[in-house]
Amino acid sequence: MSELEQIKLEITPGEIIVNHGVYFKKTPEIILVHIDMSSKYVICDSSGSDDEVPLIFLDADKNTLHTDKKYKGEFTQVKFPEMKGWNIFSYNSCGRYSIAITFVKIPEKVS
């Protein structure tokens, strides 16, 4: 398998420690991204956007391990600046140390 291309992440620090993200699959309408974490058993709390840049908020609970104690109780925000104009369709903690995110292209406005 060839090496996967990294995706640029803008991280606002919180309790969850994020390593990096990679593009898993790209099409003109759908992109799958895999986020690798240092923290274990992360909660994907919510998603949204900031000026059409998609973002997710990550949180910890009593089962989460390997967190940044100086940010205890604070969300980690992850923005995807290369994905401006895309929506987060779904996200899921797909393993102990990873998150899978599906992005879909926002269609042009119909007049």
Tens digits of per-residue pLDDT, 75-109? 999 999 999 999 999 999 877 899 999 999 977 75
CATH at 14: 2.60.40
Q: Is residue 111 part of a domain?
A: no
Across 52-110, the runs of DSSP E, i.e. the strands, are 53-59, 76-79, 86-95, 98-105
Query: How is residue 28 written in tokens?
Result: 């003109």
Count of structural domains within the chain: 1
Domain assignment of residue 70, given as a range: 6-105
pTM, whole model, 2 decimals? 0.89
Tens digits of per-residue pLDDT, 9-38? 999 999 999 999 999 999 999 999 999 999
Asked whether 34 and 100 are in contact (CB, 8 A), the reply is: yes
Q: Is residue 83 part of a domain?
A: yes
In angstroms, the CA 59 to CA 80 distance is 18
Query: How is residue 85 written in tokens?
Result: 């104009």
Q: Is residue 110 part of a domain?
A: no
